[in-house]
Structure 1
């Protein structure tokens, strides 16, 4: 039975019928003389029926008022079911309970869907920032909280610590816009793409800015392109160089066999061919070293103690020409720090950085020094910094130093830093130059 179609039976029917009957009988008795006692009884019966109707109407009103209050306060645990109160009241209570059960089921389904959506947002790998109409920024998921430390409610200008351009983008980006920017992460400038969208939250417009860190993908794509280029070039060069080297070596042997020492022309030819043979062999070795760059080494991850590992690397550096006379300081915190990486490949990265730092310091400072610092970072990562008191890297070269074959040294090969970046990327880490020109060199690796 619906509330609107309630039948006048049971709880309301008997009093209503009694009232109609008693009122009819009373109307018939009143014009007649006598029947005083009868009139009084019938009147009392009519009043009794009125009282029953009024009390049950009040009970219904209280039930409906309690139902409305339960809806207003979102208290869906109330129960309105009754027994023995009359068919109308019992059916009303059952109908209200069914309505609350339907609302409870809808609420549970909505909560489950909201929890699912919230979990998707919170676990999304892309940092999400929610910005209200007043420009206050909320960190909308775990990725954002890892990248941007602090609390909600900061203004866009407060994000200038992650880059002036990034803070300006947060303040200026309209919904639907995409913009490239740089974000300072772990002290290193990372290229990122920002995308803004508009959402409605409790009737208020909010901008949601997704921060896509693409530095790793760009570096990986760049390395892949460079490796492909090197592979093609070295293949073509070796195809042409191999017969030249072979012929030069054979010619050197033949001329040496024919040279008796009494023909100056043959002696000159022998000297020229010997030089050609040596230069061809040197060029062949040179190309082979670049060919190795185009093949990514296999990474074998393992957990190891940093202290003994870095101690061995520093002893190796001290025995190298670049480390002679260079004062090395080590800061390792905590001393029991452990790292998950390939100790051999990462060791080559550190040795390359130490050699570069030692050369820069020896050529510039009266008391050359190199400082290495290893400390834990966010999300289980480790920061490894190698700094020197050399002249630093000129601004004009900062974007080129990690390119393969680029070098500012007279006898450099340009492979060291390119190889270092390749190894760090294989570890899902980042490497960058942190110091400005004139402050010495300071390279930071985050693994």
Structure 2
């Protein structure tokens, strides 16, 4: 509508100019009235000036409007009073567009302030920097964490003032990774979980780092783990100490009675003493073996990382366990991608973990109808290599599932209770994880994540 009105105004002025020029030609050539022609020339000049002013005024106002948009200045108002109807429509449109942009800008500022408030009030330290190391954002939680309320960070290298290890970790950590570091402050020890993500904004690279002090959570979990371990250790030790104490009391009583008796020691008494001493010896030997097992649990060698082929690893597992699988008549179903999956690991330690899990699955299927085990290899969306062992056994009750990784906890008559605990420690050394999910009557799945 505005464009149409402006167009009509321009056409109207052009029509007037053409009419004046026609009248000038008629007056000068046909009527030969030169004085009137001079007046006509003056009118034509004035009409041309007005026409140029009108066009220039419209262009100038349009230019000012576009410049205001370019500089995010939405406060400019265009007045159409004392002007033609078309100009009023044009300026009203300018003002309406300005109002809309001002509203959008206000909403964007509110959203930005809301996001800033969220960033500043979360209890996780956040820092963002570009490819040149220039810091664009860090929140108050970071200041509180390092006990420096007046902390100012301009470059990522400024983190070296807090702790050189922190700077090294932030620079080297990759997107999706999670690393744990310890930082000693003057009055406290921080145990930080560092995570990173990377993104590109308007063609510019950024890395976003989050840091959370998990010391309290670790101490709570550590206390819980110690309590579970102490309960298991107490149970195992008392199972040996109580019979030894009881037998030693009995043997002591037999010896005292024999000492006070004038009768010679009988063969039966000697047999009882011999059996008692043998039982004490066996239980004592069991305690020694138990402590040796505990020592071995804490002496896992550091992994020697190398490139591992998932297909070759699975083939070795099939070869190693084929005799036992055939004896138990349990098929091992293998699901491996056609394109081989490679990951970094200590292949000997990982084979130890897999053998332990597969043997546990076999034992769980001893009385199961139509038993089978599935060995699966795949990769997650985050690029993690996942190896899972699934059986269709009876499943693990929830109260047992909570304890299966506790050292020396076992539900087997002849089990040591260290296999799964050892396996999880090996996976932690690989910066991975070992998880178990199970449902009674549906089976169990152990998943190794690298």
Name the TM-score, length of structure 1 as normaliser.
0.48
